[in-house]
Chains A and B, each alone.
Chain A
Amino acid sequence: MQPANLFLLTLVLAVLAYGFGYARSRSLAMPLGGIRHLKSLPFYYGARAALWSGIPALLVLGLWAAFQGKVIQLIVVGGLPPELVPNTEGQASLLLSKISNVASGALPVGFVEAPIAEAAERLQALRAQSRMLMSVLVVAVAVLAGFLGWLRIRPRLNARSQVESILKWLFFACAALAILTTVGIIFSVAFETVRFFGKVPFTEFIFGSQWSPQTALRADQVAAEGAFGMIPLFTGTLLISAIAMIVAVPVGLLSAIYLSEYANRKVRGVVKPLLEMLAGIPTVVYGFFAALTVAPFISDVADSLGINASSQSALAAGGVMGIMIIPFVSSLSDDVINAVPQSLRDGSLALGATQSETMKKVIFPAALPGIMGGVLLAVSRAIGETMIVVMAAGLAANLTANPLETVTTVTVQIVTLLTGDQEFDSAKTLAAFALGAMLFLSTLLLNVIALKIVRKYREQYD
């Protein structure tokens, strides 16, 4: 049975358990003189039986579905004749995809060696077996545990408090998922990063000024060794983020000031949602706009001025990214400006300062730390932005500060290295994880600092 169907079946079984539990508690209460002689309402007896039946079964289902693929792979590879057993991970993944292609019928059996065809057959048999076993096990667990839960219903059992404490633990597990996600992120990038630094020295990665990750596929190939210096990526990312900030910060800040200090309610009610609409547009749409409208426009304008501009200039990607970040900057600065106490504003106005003088000399300095925090958050968002740069910035890792040239960014390289055919274990693939680790660390650092500044600033006026 498919895991999705099995999941539904388990839910049905849990509902059945609820029904039986409910009925049993009522029938047990009958000779005693009604349900008021039960410790809890019948609902809780039913719910308890349902939880008993559902939770262990779903746990088994989840674990089995998560690990069956890997275990089957290991068994299949283990069953291969010794001369076929792959000795590197790259070969292993190649072999596995071959076997699964044969098993799924995409690759005719006649095209491959006999042991591989056998392995494919074994793979299919194992998959069927595993599915079968999983179905039997999950149903058995659901029925057995549900039956036990049902059997142990007594009038004096405090089902309510049991159900409540189980629920509380479930809620806790859901909240703790956030920690698990962070741990997952750290482990998934850390392992590969460490392996990457086994192949490419750390100093070369950090200080190298050459980035060309094309490694030779075969040992006898004349292709370049592959250079993994992240400085050009780093400067490219910074260049594009800086352009984005040059667009987003003044526009976002000034529009926030205008909306919070000058605009009447009507204007605010119209303009604010429109600005927020900019934030709701998917990044792939901005990428489309940058690559197909803004970039050709910029290169046409530059041509007519007699300047040479690349068709994938940093300016196009950065400018459009800036537009995307405007609402982010403006809503954060709006919060911060509104948090400045009215008394400061009133004091300044009472001394005869104009509104703009109050803004520039009193409110802005008071709000500055908060605004800085907001800008840092915006920078971290610009660094991590992917689709706009994938579509509008190029792949060439140029070390330049000229916004009309092509640069590439960390996120572009991650996407390029990891889409399409990939071979695990090659320095190329691992490099993507190392870049991911750098990206994660730098955005994390920026966020932590920014949140700290914002929080500290808030406390100042609370």
Chain B
Amino acid sequence: MTDQPSQAELVRQSLKRRYRKERRFRAYGILAIAIALSALVILFADIIGKGYTGFMKTSITMEVNLDGEMMYLDDPTDKRQLKMADFVEPLVQALIREIPGATEEDRDEIRGLINPYASVTLRDALKENPDWLNTTRTMTFLSHTDVDVYVKHAGDAGYSIKLDEQQKAWVDELLERGVIETSFNDVFFSGGDSRDPSKAGILGAIVGSLLTMFVTLILSFPIGVAAAIYLEEFAPQNKFTDFIEVNINNLAAVPSIIFGLLGLAVFINLFGMPRSVPVVGGLVLTLMTLPTIIISSRAAIKSVPPSIREAAEGIGASKMQVVLHHVLPLAMPGMLTGSIIGMAQALGETAPLLLIGMVAFIVDVPDGFFDSATVLPVQVFLWAGSPELAFIERASAAIMVLLAFLISMNALAIWMRKRLERRW
């Protein structure tokens, strides 16, 4: 006999190696999933870590002596006087009084602790309450952005602190005494963009997003559903219908920036519509989301069983009645789910809106569909491009708000699918 191992022996010997390979393959799969999920975790952790401080503001509460003589103001109802009056001086004086050991000579350093917009706050307060003149009031003002950065990120090497040692010591002391405080950043949710990070807010961008989304929704949902109904229920089997379908499938994969080019060339240059307004943004996003909505609505119509149609036709309903009275209501949950997902996509879209001019620096909260506006993702883009780290913090905070919107929209879609969708 030869000492060649038998076939079975060979297989047995190779088994160990093969099982090792099997385990390795499995490990690769787990590794891949781990990579993907850790990327997700790192992304979220990074954004939350960078941005949670954006939800806090630093403010100074002090007793301000509203001395008319100091402000060169004797009638707060007079617009001319309000324009000329000095609203910085009372703030500086008040802060000098709060800091023991500070003198008139430190006024420039002390002024550097107060937000440049604090004087506007004071002016508006006086305008509203003219009787405050020549009284002493306890008022709260935003601190200077440098103070804000120092208070939040004193130990962080990534941030450069612009305060000098003297100012730092003052801020430390004022913090201890509760004159300077950090609290929830309501300014961030109640204002528009600003050159000053402490004053910058996302309300303008949120309103712009809502206006744009409203236009997108009222156009894309009915049109998408109507197109889906036509293609599923009425379209004859011919070349033209095929052509429509090919077009829809291709449009679903066209890069979004191309829709921006379309919007620029057609809506703005051809039709002469204004730039950077929610209507044009909504139109562009409508064209972009339509394919998604059509495709998901068709799937929803397809899932309605033929027995429903046959039953309705059997008792004499016309084709249109079958569709509108029976198929459409039953397909509606699926259509709504698909549309919410399409709207979520549109809400996060940035590139096409850059091309139609929604990147402008806009301070005011837009008040109409034809008012210049920006949207939330574009606001993130604008702030992310700023060299000032305080804006980066705001950008991360804005991303969190955007993600919160998106997650709640998707959660709504999932909930609706679970709750309303019927299995036949």
Show the binding face of A for B, using Cβ within 8 Å. 2, 4, 66-70, 72-73, 160-161, 164, 167-168, 170-172, 174-179, 181-182, 184-185, 187-189, 191-192, 250-255, 257-259, 262, 271, 274-275, 277-278, 280-289, 291-293, 323, 326-327, 330, 354-357, 359-360, 377, 380-381, 383-387, 390-391, 411, 414-415, 418-419, 424, 432-433, 436, 439-440, 443-444, 447-448, 451
Contact A380 to B355, CB < 8 A, known contacts A175-B231, A326-B36: no
Residues in B whose Cβ lies below 8 Å from that of A187: 265
Tell me the complex Cα distance, A209–B227, Å: 45
B270 within 8 A of A: yes
Tell me the complex Cα distance, A293–B235, Å: 51
B350 within 8 A of A: yes
Known: A274-B40, A281-B348, A284-B381. 8 other contacts (CB 8 A): A177-B227, A285-B402, A289-B47, A327-B36, A354-B22, A414-B261, A436-B261, A443-B253
Residues in B whose Cβ lies below 8 Å from that of A377: 253
Interfacial residues of chain B within 20-53, with CB under 8 A of chain A in the complex: 21-22, 24-26, 28-33, 35-37, 39-40, 43, 46-47, 50
Tell me the complex Cα distance, A219–B90, Å: 55
Pair A385/B247 contact, Cβ less than 8 Å: no
Per a CB cutoff under 8 Å, which of A68, A73, A168, A255 touches B230?
Answer: A168
Tell me the complex Cα distance, A73–B268, Å: 13
Contact A391 to B384, CB < 8 A, known contacts A70-B270, A178-B227, A280-B406: yes
Pair A411/B257 contact, Cβ less than 8 Å: yes
Pair A444/B350 contact, Cβ less than 8 Å: no
Contact A384 to B255, CB < 8 A, known contacts A262-B26, A292-B384: yes
Tell me the complex Cα distance, A176–B344, Å: 25
Tell me the complex Cα distance, A413–B285, Å: 21
Pair B258/A185 contact, Cβ less than 8 Å: yes
Tell me the complex Cα distance, A451–B248, Å: 13
Pair B254/A443 contact, Cβ less than 8 Å: yes
11 contacts between A and B (CB under 8 A): A164-B318, A167-B320, A174-B230, A178-B290, A189-B265, A252-B32, A278-B40, A282-B347, A285-B43, A293-B46, A380-B253
Tell me the complex Cα distance, A72–B344, Å: 37
Pair B244/A176 contact, Cβ less than 8 Å: yes
Pair B350/A171 contact, Cβ less than 8 Å: no
- A contact patch SS: helix
Who on chain B is nearest to A387 by CB? B350
Who on chain A is nearest to B319 by CB? A164
Who on chain A is nearest to B30 by CB? A258
Tell me the complex Cα distance, A296–B21, Å: 38
Residues in B whose Cβ lies below 8 Å from that of A418: 260-261, 264, 354-355
Tell me the complex Cα distance, A281–B33, Å: 18
Residues in A whose Cβ lies below 8 Å from that of B406: 280-282
Stretch among B74-82, B116-124, B391-399 lining the A interface = B391-399
Distance of B142 from chain A, by nearest CB (Å): 25
B249 within 8 A of A: yes
Residues in B whose Cβ lies below 8 Å from that of A282: 347-350, 377, 402, 406
B380 within 8 A of A: yes
Please tell me the size bucket of the interface on B.
35 or more
B237 within 8 A of A: no
Who on chain A is nearest to B369 by CB? A4
Who on chain A is nearest to B46 by CB? A293
Tell me the complex Cα distance, A377–B82, Å: 63
Tell me the complex Cα distance, A387–B354, Å: 10
Residues in A whose Cβ lies below 8 Å from that of B350: 282-284, 386-387
Contact A175 to B28, CB < 8 A, known contacts A192-B265, A287-B381, A387-B381: no
Pair B249/A424 contact, Cβ less than 8 Å: no
Pair B403/A271 contact, Cβ less than 8 Å: no
B138 within 8 A of A: no
- Which one of B249, B254, B259 has the highest number of Cβ atoms from chain A below 10 Å of its Cβ? B254
Residues in A whose Cβ lies below 8 Å from that of B251: 178, 181-182
Pair B403/A355 contact, Cβ less than 8 Å: no
Who on chain A is nearest to B228 by CB? A175
Pair B247/A274 contact, Cβ less than 8 Å: no
Tell me the complex Cα distance, A72–B274, Å: 13
B424 within 8 A of A: no
Residues in B whose Cβ lies below 8 Å from that of A252: 32, 36
Pair B47/A386 contact, Cβ less than 8 Å: no
Pair A67/B230 contact, Cβ less than 8 Å: no
Tell me the complex Cα distance, A158–B259, Å: 43
Pair B258/A439 contact, Cβ less than 8 Å: yes
CB-based closest 8 A-B pairs: A384-B255, A69-B272, A258-B29, A282-B348, A188-B265, A254-B32, A356-B25, A171-B230
Pair B247/A179 contact, Cβ less than 8 Å: yes
Residues in A whose Cβ lies below 8 Å from that of B28: 254
Per a CB cutoff under 8 Å, which of B47, B258, B271, B395 touches A69?
Answer: B271
B273 within 8 A of A: yes
B262 within 8 A of A: yes
Who on chain A is nearest to B414 by CB? A273
Residues in A whose Cβ lies below 8 Å from that of B392: 292
Distance of B240 from chain A, by nearest CB (Å): 9
Contact A67 to B256, CB < 8 A, known contacts A179-B244, A278-B40, A323-B39: no
Tell me the complex Cα distance, A138–B168, Å: 66
Who on chain B is nearest to A170 by CB? B226
Pair A440/B43 contact, Cβ less than 8 Å: no
Residues in A whose Cβ lies below 8 Å from that of B25: 355-356, 359-360
B54 within 8 A of A: no
Residues in B whose Cβ lies below 8 Å from that of A172: 230, 234
Pair B294/A285 contact, Cβ less than 8 Å: no
Pair B262/A185 contact, Cβ less than 8 Å: yes
Residues in A whose Cβ lies below 8 Å from that of B291: 178
Residues in A whose Cβ lies below 8 Å from that of B351: 283, 386-387, 390, 411, 415
Per a CB cutoff under 8 Å, which of B21, B29, B258, B344 touches A262?
Answer: B29
Contact A288 to B396, CB < 8 A, known contacts A164-B318, A262-B29: yes
Per a CB cutoff under 8 Å, which of B262, B355, B368 touches A415?
Answer: B355
Tell me the complex Cα distance, A184–B267, Å: 10
Tell me the complex Cα distance, A411–B26, Å: 38
Tell me the complex Cα distance, A213–B406, Å: 38
Residues in A whose Cβ lies below 8 Å from that of B250: 182, 444, 447-448
Who on chain B is nearest to A185 by CB? B262
Distance of A266 from chain B, by nearest CB (Å): 14
Who on chain A is nearest to B402 by CB? A282
Residues in A whose Cβ lies below 8 Å from that of B395: 288
Per a CB cutoff under 8 Å, which of A281, A386, A447 touches B43?
Answer: A281
Tell me the complex Cα distance, A255–B59, Å: 49
Pair B254/A271 contact, Cβ less than 8 Å: no
Distance of A109 from chain B, by nearest CB (Å): 21
Pair B355/A175 contact, Cβ less than 8 Å: no
Per a CB cutoff under 8 Å, which of B22, B265, B410 touches A280?
Answer: B410
Contact A188 to B385, CB < 8 A, known contacts A168-B320, A354-B21, A415-B354: no
Residues in A whose Cβ lies below 8 Å from that of B229: 171
Who on chain A is nearest to B248 by CB? A178
Per a CB cutoff under 8 Å, which of B36, B320, B403 touches A251?
Answer: B36
Interfacial residues of chain B within 277-297, with CB under 8 A of chain A in the complex: 287, 290-291, 294
B359 within 8 A of A: yes
Interfacial residues of chain B within 127-144, with CB under 8 A of chain A in the complex: none
B420 within 8 A of A: no
Residues in A whose Cβ lies below 8 Å from that of B347: 282
Who on chain A is nearest to B224 by CB? A174
Tell me the complex Cα distance, A386–B349, Å: 10
Tell me the complex Cα distance, A293–B350, Å: 20
